[in-house]
Structure 1
C-alpha cells in the first residue's frame, strides 16, 4: 500500500484542519454555554446548526459514505485521516460534518439494504442532516455481546399487514435527541428457527409510533453525552409498523448487523487516534507550563516516558488502521476481518491508557470539566464495549489463528 495521501485526501485534510481551527475548537465552550441555557438538556445548541451549515458550504459533508450517489465517494483509506481529525473534537466535529454515529451506520444500512421507499422517506433527510436516528439492538436482560441472544420479538399481525414489536432495549444512542425520528430495531421474527443467525430481522420504527416509550437516559461514567443525543432505555409495547418497514428480508438482520458494524468499528478507531493526538498535545502543553520539585514537568523522566510511549502507540495504531482501511477497499470487509478485529481490540485499549496518563499529568484538572480529558476518557473506555467487547473479538481472532493448526 502507498502511505502517501492522494491529492483529494490532502485537499480535504487541509480544508478540514482549517475548519477545526476556525470553527470547531472555538465552538466547544460556546456549545457548553448554550446547552446550559436550553429548555431541555437534549436540545441542540444553536452553534451546532451553524457548524453544520458551514461544513456543508465548504463541501465537508457526508465524507464517510463511499457511494458517491449518497456521499463524498471516498474510500476507507481516503476517509481515515479525515475521521482522525474529527476525533480531536468527537462531541462536535463528527456531527458538524454529518459523520456521527449512529446515523452513519444507519445511513449505510439504508443505502445498501433499504427499499426505494425507505430511502426516500428516511435516508434522504438523514443525508441532509434534517433528522437524526437510532439503532436499537442492545438489551439489558441478556448478554448482548452475543447478538443471537436478543429477545425482542417482531411478529406478524394476524392479517399479515403489520409487524408488532415487543421488547426492551438500552444504551440506544441518539434516542434522546428531539430530532431523532427513526429507529432501526433488531429483533427475532423466527425465534425457533434452526439457524440462530437467521432468526433476527430489522425493521424501521418511527419514534412517534404508539407503543414506543423512550423511558430514560442512560449515563456513561456519569456523563449523559448530550452531543450524541444521549443513550436511552427504550421499551416497545406492541408497537406496530407496516410490513414495508422491514429492511431487506426476514431473517437477514444478523447479516445486516455485521455489514453495519464493519465500517463502524474502523470509524471509531480512526476517531480514537484523533482523541489520542489531542491528549498528547494537552500533555505536552501542560508539561512545559508546570513546574514541580524545582523543574518543569517536561524534564521529569516519568513524564517524558509517558509522552514517548504515547507517540509510539499512536504511530503503531495509525499504521494498523490504515492497513485495515486499505484491505477493506481492496479485498472487502470479509477479507479484512482479522485486521478489523485487531484494531478494535488494540485501539481503545491504547487510547484509554494515553488518556489516563494525560489525566494524571493534569492532576485535579484532568478529572474536571475545565479540560476535555475526563469526557474523552469516558468515551474511549466505552468503545472497549461498543460494537462488541474486547473479549468477543479476541475469541474470534484466536479461533481464526488456531484454525490453521487444527
Structure 2
C-alpha cells in the first residue's frame, strides 16, 4: 500500500509507509542524565471559541503527560512548546500548571513549569517594578503547585531593559525570593523574535557574560540553565563556564545527540521540544548512556535529527504545528486542531514530510492509524488518492 504525498514544488510523490513500529516499552528515568520533554497542549476542538480564547482538552493533555512520565521523562510544562505566547494565555497556563503538577504528584513524575510575564498587557513596556511583580505572581503559582520553577525569558523585560544591569537586578531580585533552585531559560530570537538582544546585548558574547554574572551571584538558587540558541559551540563554551553544581539543559533541537553525549569535560542534560514526539525513543537512547554505551545512544538518536531539523526549520517558532501533527498521527489525540488555530501555520508539503520522516523512524505505535489519518488530512486539502 502506498500513499501520495505533496512535494514543495507542487508535485505528488509516492511513499510506502512502514508496517512495523519501533517497540518501545515504558521504563524508568535515566540515571546519568536529567531529561525533560517540553510538552504540547491538546486543544478542545468542540469549543466555540476564537484564536484569542483558547480552550484546552484537559483529559487528553494530561494523558499525554502520563505517557511521557511512563517512559521515565520529566515534563517541562507551560513552556513555548505549550504555545505560551502563541495561543495559550496566562490563565490557561496557570490552570495547566496546577493540573499537571497535581498529576505529577499522583504518578510520581518529575515536573518543572515556566514562570514569566506574559499576562502583562501588550504595547508600551511597563516599568521594571511591574515586570518584577508579574514574574513574582507567576513564580508563586508554580511554587504553590509544588513544581520546580523555570524562569522564562520575558518579552516585557526585553522591551523595557536599557542594559545588562536591568537583567542583573531583575533576576537577582527573583532568585533571592525563589524557595528552591530554579532553571533559567535563555530562548533565542529564532524561537521568539521579541527576545532579540536578551541579557542586554545583541552581541552573544556580551549577553553570555551577563547571563553568567546572574548565575555566579546566586549559584545556590540556580539548578541549571536551558539554552535554546541552536548553536552547539556556544552551548559547550557556556557549559564549561558554569559554576559547579549548575546543570546545562540543552534546548538545541539541532545538535542534541552530541550535546547530551558530551565530551571529556562534561555533557548537557536535556529540556527539549523535540522530545515531545521522540519521547519513548529518546528515553531509551539516553538510558544507554547509563552504562556508557555511547554507540547505542547515537545509533538511536542520530537518525532523529533530520526530523527535528525539519520541524524546527524557519520560522522556527512554528515547530509546534509539526509536533501536534505527530501526536495526532501517533494516536495521542483524536484531532489535528491547535489553540489559536496554529494548525494552519505550516504548509501541507511540510506536514507530509514530517509524517514521512516520523514513519521512517518507526515513531507511530500504530502505523496503519497514522497512514489513515494522514490520508484524511490530504483529502481535506484536495490531494487525489
Higher RCO (C-alpha under 8 Å, 6+ residues apart): 2
Structure that is richer in helix per residue: 1
Is the radius of gyration larger for structure 1 or structure 2?
1
